[in-house]
């Protein structure tokens, strides 16, 4: 089917799927944004004129950001708050590089669901604008720069072979991908049909980058960002090895790339997802993969808290995912023979939303800990303090924490 579509476009001289137009003039995108505008209006009207809380996932975040850039007044009129979940604001470079070169990342792990070869998938992806828009944004100041690395075969003047590791940053990497795909083709019914990197779509993607970078969020709209963490996420891709270097760039189409991973949701690096470019009310990282994050109970609790849905819980902290409930606070000061004494007693109940079934990072194991310190104060006065923390065993999702501190100030 994909081959037939490409044959039709090649024979008729058409631009497949209407791609390759200027971003702002694309009929396909204009129609999508118009439908989105009408949907916002209809929901606003149906709610009796109440502004909308908008929640997006993945590429939905980029679509909304484009909408804001082109229809800021409409967005401000209908939207109260926007929560973006796992949005690839600066791209998802690791997977996208291998997708364009040989379609591997979109087929690997999906063989049981798709009756499609990696080459058919690659042909489709080379004509898909959203793939190009997920290339690493070359204008973004990456802390961890995504690279395309290639072990290249090198011949010296005497004909002796050696291997040289070349590293290309995002803009250079695109040129290498372009060269690798320059002779890419499919053969169908005796026809040789070229399938290179689509430069029209690439230029379109660059315009999209510029549009997204210049987007300003209306001041009346509150923005929140939830991104995935704790999953190895492809970032840099390396082809070849020192023992088996690549002889020509065209051979990258048949080579298996090796990933260098960073933290993220398995698809989108956390660095990319956090870089929304807005003055966010809050950004929270959640341990979840790219698809599973929308099913996360923690994400549901965070969204519920931000939107003030249901019974309000003023003690819930989205960053730690705990409710820390103060149950006791007492402070007492008195004078004794050996000096002024200040004592503090404070108790908390830490309520874990996971009902205490498993111990997660940040939870406190049962323990008793004491700290004693002293120092020489003003005019030779000796100051001493001792604090004891008692963490009781967790019961039914609640953990009792006690802090007892005593400070003594001796006269000089």
What CATH number is attached to the domain comprising 73? 3.40.50.1820
CB contact set of 29 (below 8 Å; sequence gap of 6+) = 23, 66
Specify which of 3-12, 305-314, 341-350, 403-412 reaches the highest per-range mean pLDDT: 305-314
- Choose the final residue of a domain: 321, 339, 357: 339
- H helix and E strand count, the chain: 12, 16
Shared domain for 364 and 379, answered yes or no, is: yes
pLDDT range class, residue 103, cuts 50, 70, 90 = confident
Crossing angle, helix 199-213 and helix 59-70, to 10 degrees? 70
Which residue in this structure is represented by tokens 């990342």? 105
Rounded distance between C-alpha atoms, residue 363 and residue 218, angstroms: 38
Q: How far is CA 397 from the centre of its chain?
A: 30
The answer to pTM > 0.75 is no
Shared domain for 126 and 252, answered yes or no, is: yes
Rounded distance between C-alpha atoms, residue 255 and residue 69, angstroms: 40
Does residue 366 or residue 274 have the better pLDDT? 274
Element containing residue 342 per DSSP (H, E): strand 339-351
- 379-403 pLDDT tens trace: 666 677 777 777 777 776 666 777 7
- Choose the final residue of a domain: 281, 312, 339: 339
Which of 200, 195, 199, 204 shows the shortest CA–CA distance to 253? 195
Shared domain for 335 and 353, answered yes or no, is: no
- Please tell me the predicted confidence (pLDDT) of residue 231: 94
- 50-92 pLDDT tens trace: 999 999 999 999 999 999 998 999 999 999 999 999 999 999 9
Shared domain for 21 and 48, answered yes or no, is: yes
Mean pLDDT for the stretch of residues 214-232:
95
Token couple for 86: 């796992």
Shared domain for 172 and 91, answered yes or no, is: yes
Shared domain for 400 and 262, answered yes or no, is: no
Residues annotated catalytic, as ranges: 58, 265, 290
CA distances from 162 to 176, 251, 254, 334 (A): 21, 17, 21, 80
Shared domain for 45 and 154, answered yes or no, is: yes
Shared domain for 334 and 385, answered yes or no, is: no
Q: In what order do the strands lie in the sheet with 382-391?
A: 316-317, 322-336, 339-351, 398-409, 382-391, 367-376
Shared domain for 355 and 225, answered yes or no, is: no
Domain span at residue 138 reads 1-339
Rounded distance between C-alpha atoms, residue 411 and residue 181, angstroms: 82
Shared domain for 327 and 359, answered yes or no, is: no
Counting every residue written for the chain, the total comes to 412
Mean pLDDT for the stretch of residues 327-334:
67
pLDDT range class, residue 25, cuts 50, 70, 90 = very low
- Please tell me the predicted confidence (pLDDT) of residue 127: 85
- Please tell me the predicted confidence (pLDDT) of residue 14: 36
- Choose the final residue of a domain: 287, 313, 339: 339
Which of 296, 300, 224, 239 shows the shortest CA–CA distance to 265? 296
Shared domain for 392 and 245, answered yes or no, is: no
pLDDT range class, residue 12, cuts 50, 70, 90 = very low
Is the pLDDT at 211 greater than 90? The verdict is no
Shared domain for 345 and 332, answered yes or no, is: no
What does the angle CA 73 – CA 223 – CA 228 come to, to the nearest 5 degrees? Answer: 135
Counting the structural domains of the chain, the total is 2
Quick check: helix, strand or coil at residue 217?
coil
Element containing residue 326 per DSSP (H, E): strand 322-336
Is the pLDDT at 224 greater than 90? The verdict is yes
pLDDT range class, residue 121, cuts 50, 70, 90 = confident
């Amino acid at each position: 089917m994909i081959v037939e579509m490409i044959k039709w476009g090649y024979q008729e001289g058409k631009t497949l799927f209407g791609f390759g137009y200027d971003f702002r003039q694309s009929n396909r995108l204009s129609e999508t944004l118009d439908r989105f505008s009408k949907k916002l209006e209809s929901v606003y009207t149906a709610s009796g004129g109440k502004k909308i809380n908008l929640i997006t996932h993945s590429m939905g975040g980029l679509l909304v950001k484009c909408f804001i850039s082109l229809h800021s007044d409409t967005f401000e009129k209908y939207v109260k708050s926007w929560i973006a979940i796992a949005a690839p604001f600066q791209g998802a470079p690791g997977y996208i590089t291998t997708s364009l070169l040989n379609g591997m990342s979109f087929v690997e792990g999906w063989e049981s669901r798709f009756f499609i070869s990696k080459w058919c998938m690659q042909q489709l992806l080379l004509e898909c604008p959203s793939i190009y828009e997920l290339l690493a944004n070359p204008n973004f100041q990456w802390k961890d720069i995504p690279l395309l690395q290639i072990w290249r075969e090198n011949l010296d003047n005497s004909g002796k072979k050696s291997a040289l590791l070349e590293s290309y940053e995002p803009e250079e990497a695109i040129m290498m991908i372009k060269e690798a795909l320059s002779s890419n083709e499919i053969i169908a019914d005796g026809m040789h049909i070229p399938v290179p990197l689509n430069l029209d779509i690439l230029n379109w993607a660059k315009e999209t980058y510029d549009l997204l970078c210049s987007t300003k969020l209306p001041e009346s709209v509150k923005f929140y960002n939830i991104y995935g963490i704790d999953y190895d996420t492809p970032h840099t891709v390396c082809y070849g090895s020192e023992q088996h270097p690549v002889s020509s760039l065209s051979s990258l189409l048949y080579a298996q790339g090796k990933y260098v991973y960073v933290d993220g949701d398995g698809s989108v690096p956390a660095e990319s997802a956090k870089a929304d470019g807005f003055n966010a009310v809050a950004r929270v990282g959640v341990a979840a993969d790219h698809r599973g994050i929308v099913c996360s109970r923690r994400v549901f609790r965070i969204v519920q808290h931000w939107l003030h849905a249901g019974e309000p819980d003023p003690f819930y902290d989205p960053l730690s995912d705990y409710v820390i409930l103060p149950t006791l606070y007492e402070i007492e000061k008195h004078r004794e023979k050996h000096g002024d004494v200040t004592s503090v007693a404070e108790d908390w109940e830490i309520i874990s939303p996971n009902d205490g079934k498993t111990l997660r990072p940040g939870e406190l194991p049962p323990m008793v800990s004491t700290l004693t310190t002293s120092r020489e104060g003003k005019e030779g006065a000796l100051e001493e303090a001792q604090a004891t923390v008692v963490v009781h065993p967790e019961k039914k999702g609640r953990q009792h924490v006690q802090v007892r501190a005593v400070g003594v100030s001796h006269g000089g």
